[in-house]
Homo-oligomer: A and B are copies of this chain.
Amino acid sequence: MVDFTRSPRELELEERTQRFIREVVIPYESDPRLAHGISDEIVREMRAKARAAGLLALQAPREWGGAGLDHRETATLLRAAGYSLLGPLAMNCAAPDEGNIHLLDRVASPAQKERFLRPLAAGEIRSSFFMTEPDGGAGSDPDMMRTTAERDGDHWVINGRKWFITGVDGAGFGIIMARTGEHATLFLTPLPAPGITIERVMHTADEMTPGGHGVVRIENLRLHESSILGAVHEGFRYAQVRLAPARLTHCMRWWGAAKRAHDIATAYAVSRQAFGKALIDHEGVGFMLARNEVDLRQTQLMIDYVAWTLDQGSKASTDSSMAKYSVSETLFQIVDRCVQVLGGRGIVDETQVSRIWREIRAFRVYDGPSEVHLYSLARRLKRNAARS
């Protein structure tokens, strides 16, 4: 029977996370050290406090220090964590590390887990996922991958260029996707590594990602075959293993950020006067906030539904496509309305809203732009229609 009751454990987790965000993380938002973007120093400080509060990487399996949450509980956790843009970093449930933890847990060898997963889940190091390529290489269409790995005895030699490599500067290791003939294979490499050069860090509106987004040149990177993550030639499949839940955790975190923007806009609309009454009493404003309420509910329901699907053991590739598309588009509209409600205040960094607005835009693009998800939804619809 359809049921929306939350367990006491989930409610307790939510309440504790909300308090931690409010009391510990939000004060960091006005830390003057953030003027030039987030640094590993601040991340370390916040993580120490999260660890003390028992809130570090709870989404990870118990074996790696987590709480053994299912996807629905993870949704509750990450929505609460996302209420501050710093929250997921503080609690070690931010991208790309959170997705990499999930992937390593699923496919890494015991030795790889000890070496890479353990310190990653413990929040001691950061990681990177090398997939997207410049110069007409792999983007939304992975078949266009140009980076290659060639076997040389019991080693592999990798060459290529990657970009949008989130967090690469300062990362402790990376997962590299490279073409191996018709297929693709994932490789683990410690970082920094000879053969891997960060050409530059891309300039972006997103200043809340330690290590930024790098452009990387890989020249004759030589890795032993024990560096292969999972099986050879299974790279595209593993990318899917990582992708479906990763799409959903993005939805969860950004939901929290949109809720934050909405709360700020609502508080402003209640207190600010114009043309003889409170802003919120102007329907032009009140209706925008009412739409936000509806949209926050809708997106929460969609997230919970797909999380449940994953918990049933489904790969949920269609459902997570649907969620990624609709949640990203809808949350963006919520935050955009908040900017509008705040007026001038919404476009300057007097509140978190302008920052959330700038950063959430990327969510409609990464892990497949909305159009790619609509494309695959339409193709699946055609297949199903043909079958029926």
A357–B347 touching, CB < 8 Å: no
Determine whether A291 belongs to the interface, using a CB cutoff of 8 Å to chain B.
yes
B339–A326 touching, CB < 8 Å: no
A365–B344 touching, CB < 8 Å: yes
Q: Which residues of chain B are within 8 angstroms of A5 by Cβ–Cβ distance?
A: 1-2
A204–B365 touching, CB < 8 Å: no
Bound complex: CA A3 to CA B266 (Å): 31
Contact with B along A262-293 (1 / 0, CB 8 A): 00001100101111001011111111011101
Determine whether A231 belongs to the interface, using a CB cutoff of 8 Å to chain B.
no
A344–B280 touching, CB < 8 Å: no
For residue A71, give the distance in angstroms from its CB to the closest CB of chain B.
Answer: 10
Q: Which residues of chain B are within 8 angstroms of A132 by Cβ–Cβ distance?
A: 344
Report A284-322 residues with CB < 8 Å from chain B CB: 284-287, 289-291, 293-294, 297-298, 301-302, 304-305, 307-309, 322
Determine whether A374 belongs to the interface, using a CB cutoff of 8 Å to chain B.
yes
Bound complex: CA A140 to CA B282 (Å): 13
A272–B136 touching, CB < 8 Å: yes
A274–B139 touching, CB < 8 Å: yes
**Can you name the residue of chain B whose Cβ is closest to the Cβ of A359?**
B347
Bound complex: CA A370 to CA B285 (Å): 11
B283–A348 touching, CB < 8 Å: no
Contact with B along A320-339 (1 / 0, CB 8 A): 00100110000000000001
Other-chain residue from B273, B362, B373 in contact with A136 (beta carbon distance below 8 A): B273
B325–A340 touching, CB < 8 Å: no
For residue A35, give the distance in angstroms from its CB to the closest CB of chain B.
Answer: 8
For residue A274, give the distance in angstroms from its CB to the closest CB of chain B.
Answer: 4
Bound complex: CA A298 to CA B319 (Å): 11
Determine whether A381 belongs to the interface, using a CB cutoff of 8 Å to chain B.
yes
Determine whether A241 belongs to the interface, using a CB cutoff of 8 Å to chain B.
no
Determine whether A193 belongs to the interface, using a CB cutoff of 8 Å to chain B.
no
B348–A365 touching, CB < 8 Å: no
Determine whether A224 belongs to the interface, using a CB cutoff of 8 Å to chain B.
no
Interface centre among A164, A302, A373, A377 (most CB of B within 10 A): A377
Bound complex: CA A5 to CA B312 (Å): 10
B204–A282 touching, CB < 8 Å: no
Other-chain residue from B205, B289, B322, B344 in contact with A139 (beta carbon distance below 8 A): B344
**Can you name the residue of chain B whose Cβ is closest to the Cβ of A164?**
B344
Known interface pairs A144-B273, A202-B349, A290-B378. Does A371 touch B302 (Cβ–Cβ under 8 Å)? no
Bound complex: CA A386 to CA B281 (Å): 13
Q: Which residues of chain B are within 8 angstroms of A106 by Cβ–Cβ distance?
A: none
B304–A385 touching, CB < 8 Å: no
Q: Which residues of chain B are within 8 angstroms of A305 by Cβ–Cβ distance?
A: 4, 297, 301
**Can you name the residue of chain B whose Cβ is closest to the Cβ of A262?**
B381
Q: Which residues of chain B are within 8 angstroms of A307 by Cβ–Cβ distance?
A: 2
Q: Which residues of chain B are within 8 angstroms of A51 by Cβ–Cβ distance?
A: none
**Can you name the residue of chain B whose Cβ is closest to the Cβ of A304?**
B2
For residue A74, give the distance in angstroms from its CB to the closest CB of chain B.
Answer: 12
A290–B377 touching, CB < 8 Å: yes
Known: A2-B307, A289-B381. 16 other contacts (CB 8 A): A1-B6, A139-B343, A164-B348, A203-B348, A205-B347, A281-B382, A283-B283, A286-B375, A286-B378, A290-B373, A298-B298, A298-B301, A298-B302, A339-B361, A339-B365, A358-B358
Closest 9 CB pairs of A and B: A286-B378, A283-B283, A290-B377, A203-B349, A301-B301, A284-B371, A283-B284, A290-B374, A202-B348
